Structure 1
Amino acid sequence: MQILTEYGFNKRPKSQNLTVLQDSIRVEIKGHYSNIDTTQYRSSFKELYVGEDLLEYESRTINGVFVNRFKTFYEYDAHGNWIKRMTYENNKLIKVENRLFRY
């Protein structure tokens, strides 16, 4: 597990990134803090990877209110290559990609 905190020039936290690695799975959670006038805004983003493939992306506001979620599902051939990738946004299918391999 790795935690990285960035500070603004006013010495307040600007963002914090948490990365967890377990075998081929990587989870990255990024939190951002913003100040506009006297109001403080915070948001967080979670990304889940297997290898370098992004499987899930989720964003939330300061109150934990769900904003957006992307999920990707893969179908593989007998050689372990993905042949179909389906991307969903908020549980609606938005993109299908097919790959053809000749062996």
Structure 2
Amino acid sequence: MIGNVYIKYATEEQAQDCFTAMQGKLYNDLPIQAEFSPVTDFREAKCRVQNEGHCNRGGFCNFIHPKFINKKLRRELQDMMYDEYPEYKKARDERIERGEDEDLEDQ
């Protein structure tokens, strides 16, 4: 596999917990190399060429090529997450109220 996976967390503490949990984990028999990213605005990190058509650099591009899932699956996963971790929904709602984040429905 060539490329990176980016995960955005509501808090730095949640990101640190995930980082710690990923240490020593494997994906497809290869070690996961977790690290923190300086990206603060994922919209600016997206590949504009990919958004306009097709990026020829593929996995070697230094920008994000987002992969989207359908709304039904996204809603099901989101509902499962909020059922298991209601504090995430509260934190997200507070960020939206402050204008710092958008609802996943709009992404």
Bigger Cα Rg = 1
Which TM-score band (shorter chain)? under 0.3
Q: TM-score, normalised by structure 2?
A: 0.18
Q: Which has the higher helix share?
A: 2
Q: TM-score, normalised by structure 1?
A: 0.18
Q: Which has the higher strand share?
A: 1
